[in-house]
Chains A and B, each alone.
Chain A
Amino acid sequence: RHLGHYPSLPPGYQNTSAPHATPPIHPAMQAATQPYTQPPGGPGPAQLSPSLAAMSLQSSTPEALRVVNLLQERNLLPPAPVPAPTPCLTQDLQKLNCSPEVFRSTLTSIPQTQSLLNKAKMPLGLLLHPFKDLSQLPVVTSSTIVRCRSCRTYINPFVSFLDQRRWKCNLCYRVNDVPEEFMYNPVSRSYGEPHKRPEVQNATIEFIAPSEYMLRPPQPAVYLFVLDVSHNAVETGYLNVFCQSLLDNINSLPGDSRTKVGFITFDSTIHFYNLQEGLSQPQMLIVSDIEDIFLPTPDSLLVNLNECKELVQDLLKSLPNLFEKTMETQSALGSALQAAFKLLSPTGGRMSVFQTQLPNLGVGALQSREDPNQRASAKDIQHLAPATDFYKKLALDCSSQQVAVDLFLLSAQYCDLASLGCISRYSAGSVYYYPSYHHQHNPAQVERFQKDLKRYLTRKIGFEAVMRIRCTKGLSIHTFHGNFFVRSTDLLSLPNVNPDAGFAVQMSIEENLDDMQVVSFQAALLYTSSKGERRIRVHTLCLPVVNSLSDIFAGADVQAITGLLACMAVDRSVTASLSDARDAMTNAAIDSLMSYRQSVLTIQQPGLLVPACLRLFPLYILALLKQKAFRTGTSTRLDDRVFAMLQLKYQPLAYAMLMIHPALYRVDDLTDEGALNINERTIPQPRLLQLSVEKLSREGAFLMDAGTVMYLWIGRNCHSNFLTQVLGVPNYAAVTATFPYVDYLLPELDTAESQRTRAFIGWLRDQRPFFPSLHIIRDESQLKASFMQNMIEDRTESALSYYEFLLHLQQQISK
């Protein structure tokens, strides 16, 4: 099925059995297959060797618990990206289990009691990416959707069939009857084998929902664009890019024949556009009463796209010229949002807001709260919480009418993103930030904006959605992280659901999980597709229960723990203070390692001893402490910081980890050794390097992949081979000459090195739905500071180096 334009890794690639690490690097790596180095894959063939599969659930794998002395072993990074750990389940259960790309737990072995969890001192939570673009998604159209009678769980691969006619729910243990229709399996045309049906064979499945699941007839796709047209906005030139992008993609907007679009522009007044079919050209209606906004005409402000396409295209062509000479400097964003909400509230839909300055007129006007002298403050950072609750209240109103607000902030000055961001956070929208956007001075941002817009306009979308996460009796969810509104204790209201949103939840163990071998979690997302179909996407994850601390440590997923800690730290920064959050993160590392040392380690040795599965934990904590969101002592703009915090809560784990711990590769000596072969393109696989200037070399060129941005750093004495073959410049001095402003395009030369480099960078870019901009920097470039700030293992004037951090941890642990 066609499911979006950025599919995940194609199935042929996912099933490669040999991990990338062909030569083992660790001196003590065991020869047996280690579960945690397997490639992250969906329901593919299990990689457990027979000997490991024969191991009982309670025994831990030797590799995950291998003791590592961090003070002595330096080369900890695996050569390829760290894969997700595999839960310690029997082979047939693990084969059916949900993909870790969709559903991931911080502890893949769940503790049996809350006191055991408290002893382990690690957070228990789930990270999900429920609406991810999937290349294989079974869709079931069935007249009956089989659900448990008491807890309403959907039938899933981990239920148990007592006999042919009865099944036992794996979340509440109630015995239910199998309906008659379910006994027949349409796929294999057989009767009497309910356990062979696709609902019971796939952990990720989509149902077409019957009318009982609809509160109202499924809504059409409705898109409203709210554009800032003040002088500042026209100066940045974003309108041209936006209009061109929408014109190019107008036929690929997800929807059907009922799709509606509308436009509102605003500066100190609000402008509506009458696009009624039959008019010769779009008619602009200006409302200047911004205190008490009203809609000038009852309809034809939101029009059917197919019927009025020419008018819409005319409007888009003329819009940039309409405001070319404007001198308005005020921005009445609050009133524009209220007007847009009035327009969208009958149907619901998506509102895309483009803002380039601080709103300073009318309701929701904001003050400039940032003090530039406090940017590099070594103590607390103020003004991380919203200044007014206008945007939050409006977001809640929008959420109740199934309207989601996406915010595009393209400003150079302070815009109080902490307050503005609320409009998206509680209405399940997303925030995009392009600091210092300008069409001439900042072409890299322009390219990023263009590519992001294309993805934004054409990606899959779900409307009027709700999501419910259920867990086995005994576990309960107490905190949610992400962009949504919690409408009830575990019911999330998502007016829009998009494939780039990630969510995290924290759990606690209310009752002891005695007599349970496994527990299950189910996330069910009920949404209206852009074609007006009501669908339910269900993901089910099954994890074993253990009752010994060493098993819990063996099953720890260090990346998921880091992601969840980042979400918790963002919350703590806003409610308490930033220094509180930083201390809490350091204490998380100290507590868990201390607990390991005291309870699991049998032989006490000097040094900082950690289990192999947590060996990257102090590195990730240090990376978080030096991340833009949490760092102190380095000058960070408040909007940049708040945006980093929003992204840490919103991004799915894979991209958040790139943000936290960028990947560094040496690219001037790419070879085909160990390369991947995808679609007949050879993609080289260079080794991951540690983030330290020690690994940089003047003779090389290095690529740093930080999620949304990539840096290609060229050493001073870089091989002229690389310069000529890949960059197309004769020498090092010419790098700036050729790439002063056009530093985001690698020239397409016909050399083997150029092809390899472009293949590698293209492959990295294809793995994510957003577009990372590429910056080519020399040693003296201004961007070198951003590049060097990502070298987290090094000491700076305000932060510890990695080794010093390890010493600090060791000191605290042995107290």
Chain B
Amino acid sequence: MAFTFAAFCYMLALLLTAALIFFAIWHIIAFDELKTDYKNPIDQCNTLNPTVEKVKKIKRVKIAIKLVLPEYLIHFFFCVMFFCAAEWLTLCLNLPLLAYHVWRYMSRPVMSCPGLYDPTTIMNADILAYCQKEGWCKLAFYLLSFFYYLYGYVFIFHLYFSALYFSFVSTE
């Protein structure tokens, strides 16, 4: 239950961060599958022919594109919320990630659809490695933020109740 706007923000942030963690895990899995394709033992018929699964892998990159924008928008929504709730410390912690998202989106390859990943260059080993590292770092950040919001929520909640309790006791 949300008593103050700040507590409400933290609770909402908690729930949405769970979604962000899910996105980050999907991101990691997608790139890992793209990368490890060639390390699997390959069947005789599929040896040199592109199979239907492999075509889907490239399509999976396009799905990742559909995941990337919601992630950025959700995170932007957090920042706006925390700004409105005057939670400055939390906002400052999220600002670097917001700046990074903006930079990443601005320096994406020329594309007609909103998206970050170019199927022709994604298989370059250095770009692939960069995307994987990015996935892991984001997962770590979102996990930490999850626990931070959890703590924040409990802290504010506890603050309110102790304020309520003291006010209750003091009126005794």
| A residues whose Cβ falls under 8 Å from a Cβ of B | 147, 150, 152, 212-215, 385-390, 392-393, 396, 400, 426, 466, 468, 476-479, 485-491, 493, 508, 524, 526, 536
Query: B55's closest neighbor in chain A, by CB?
Result: A400
Rounded to whole Å, the gap between the CB of A719 and the closest CB of chain B is 55
Please name all residues of chain B whose beta carbon is closer than 8 Å to the beta carbon of A396 when the two chains form the complex: 119-120
Chain A residue, CB-CB nearest to B38: A489
| A385 contacts B110, C-beta separation under 8 Å | yes
Q: Chain B's nearest CB lies how many Å from the CB of A736?
A: 47
Known: A396-B120, A488-B54, A524-B48. 7 other contacts (CB 8 A): A150-B41, A214-B49, A392-B120, A466-B48, A479-B124, A488-B50, A493-B50
Chain A residues with Cβ below 8 Å from B38 are: 488-491
Contact mask B123-148 → A, CB, 8 Å, 1/0? 11110000000000000000000000
Q: Which of B45, B47, B126 has the most CB of A within 10 A?
A: B47
Are A489 and B35 CB-contacts (below 8 A) given A386-B110, A392-B120? yes
| Across-interface contacts of B167 in A (CB, < 8 A) | none
Q: How far is the CA of A390 from the CA of B113 in the complex (A)?
A: 10
A-B CB proximity, top 4 nearest: A478-B125, A486-B123, A489-B38, A526-B48
Chain B positions 83-136 with a Cβ under 8 Å from a chain A Cβ: 109-112, 118-120, 123-126
Complex: how many Å from CA A399 to CA B47?
18
CB neighbours (8 Å) of B45 from chain A are 212-213
Residues of chain B having any CB pair with chain A under 8 Å: 34-35, 37-38, 41-42, 44-45, 47-51, 54-55, 57-58, 109-112, 118-120, 123-126
Chain B's closest residue to A392 (CB) is: B120
Q: In the docked arrangement, what's the CA distance between A526 and B120, Å?
A: 21
Contact partner, B112, options A388, A490, A493, Cβ 8 Å: A388
Listed by A's residue number, 18 A-B pairs whose Cβ atoms lie within 8 Å are: A212-B44, A213-B49, A215-B50, A388-B112, A400-B55, A476-B125, A479-B126, A486-B124, A487-B50, A487-B58, A487-B123, A488-B54, A488-B57, A489-B38, A490-B38, A491-B38, A491-B48, A491-B50
- Nearest-neighbour CB distance to chain A for B52, whole angstroms, equals 9
CA distance A297 to B34 in the complex (A): 40
A526 near B110 (CB under 8 angstroms)? no
| CB neighbours of A213 from chain B (8 A) | 45, 47-49
Judging by beta carbons under 8 Å apart, are B54 and A389 in contact? Answer: no
- CB atoms of A526 and B124 under 8 A apart: no
Distance (Å) between the CB of A416 and the closest chain B CB? 13
CB of A675, distance to nearest CB on chain B (Å): 46
- Known contacts A150-B41, A388-B110, A479-B124; is A487 also within 8 Å of B47 by CB? no
**Cβ A152 vs Cβ B42 within 8 A:** yes
Chain B residues near A215: list those with CB within 8 A: 49-51
Bound: A476/B35 CA distance, A: 13
A392 to chain B: which residues have CB within 8 Å? 118, 120
Give every chain B residue within 8 A of A479 (Cβ-Cβ): 124-126
- Tell me the minimal C-beta distance from B19 to chain A in angstroms: 29
Kindly state the separation between the CA atoms of A479 and B124 in the bound complex, as whole angstroms. 5
Q: Which of B48, B55, B57, B124 contacts A468 (CB 8 A)?
A: B48
Q: Which residues of A contact B111 (CB under 8 A)?
A: 389
What A residues does B57 contact at CB under 8 A?
Answer: 488
Closest approach, in angstroms, between the C-beta of A492 and any C-beta of chain B?
10
In contact, B49 and A487 (Cβ under 8 angstroms): no
Contact: A488 with B112, CB < 8 Å?
no
Q: Is the CB of B110 within 8 A of A389?
A: yes
Q: How far is the CA of A400 from the CA of B55 in the complex (A)?
A: 8
**A387-B110, A426-B120, A478-B126 known; A487 and B54 CB under 8 Å?**
yes
Q: Give B111's nearest chain A residue, CB to CB.
A: A389
What's the Cα separation between A387 and B42 when bound, in Å? 39
* B123: chain A residues within 8 A (beta carbon): 486-489
B103 to chain A, nearest CB (A): 16
Within 8 Å CB of A490, what residues of B? 38
- Residues from chain B with a CB closer than 8 A to the CB of A386 are 110
- Which among B42, B48, B54, B55 has the highest number of chain A CB atoms within 10 Å? B48
Given A485-B120, A488-B38, A152-B47 contact (CB < 8 Å): yes
Q: Which residue of B lies closest to A214 (CB)?
A: B49
Closest A residue to B35 by beta carbon equals A489
Docked Cα-Cα span, A38 to B110, in Å, equals: 48
Q: Closest Cβ of chain A: how far from B105's Cβ, in Å?
A: 16
**Cα(A487)–Cα(B54), bound, Å:** 8
- Complex CA distance for A400 and B112, rounded to whole angstroms: 20
Q: How far is the CA of A486 from the CA of B128 in the complex (A)?
A: 13
Which residues of chain B are within 8 angstroms of A524 by Cβ–Cβ distance? 48
CA distance in complex: A337, B47 (Å): 32
- Taking the closest CB of chain A, its distance from the CB of B5, in whole angstroms, is 43
User: Could you say which residues of chain B place their CB within 8 Å of the CB of A526?
Assistant: 48-49
> What is the CA–CA distance of A773 and B83 in the complex, to the nearest angstrom?
69
CB of A14 to closest CB in B, whole Å: 31
What distance in Å separates the Cβ of A443 from its nearest Cβ neighbour in chain B? Answer: 39
Please measure, in the bound complex, the distance between the C-alpha atom of A489 and the C-alpha atom of B42, giving whole angstroms. Answer: 13
- Given the complex, which residues of A lie within 8 Å of B124, measured CB to CB? 478-479, 486
**List of A residues within 8 angstroms of B110 by Cβ:** 385-389
Which of chain A's residues have a CB closer than 8 A to the CB of B120? 392, 396, 426, 485-486
Output the nearest chain B residue to A216 by Cβ-Cβ distance. B49
- A97 CA to B57 CA in the complex, in Å? 37
Most buried by B among A388, A477, A486, A526: A486
Q: Which residues of A contact B47 (CB under 8 A)?
A: 147, 152, 213, 468
User: How far apart are the CA atoms of A400 and B54 in the complex, in Å?
Assistant: 11
Q: Is the CB of B48 within 8 A of A389?
A: no
Residue from B35, B37, B50, B58 within 8 A of A466 (CB atoms):
B50
- Give complex CA distance A152, B126 in Å: 26
Beta-carbon nearest neighbor of B109 in chain A = A389
B132 to chain A, nearest CB (A): 13
Closest B residue to A468 by beta carbon equals: B48
Specify which of B41, B109, B112, B126 is in contact with A390 (CB 8 Å cutoff): B112
CB neighbours of B126 from chain A (8 A): 478-479
- Can you name the residue of chain B whose Cβ is closest to the Cβ of A402? B50
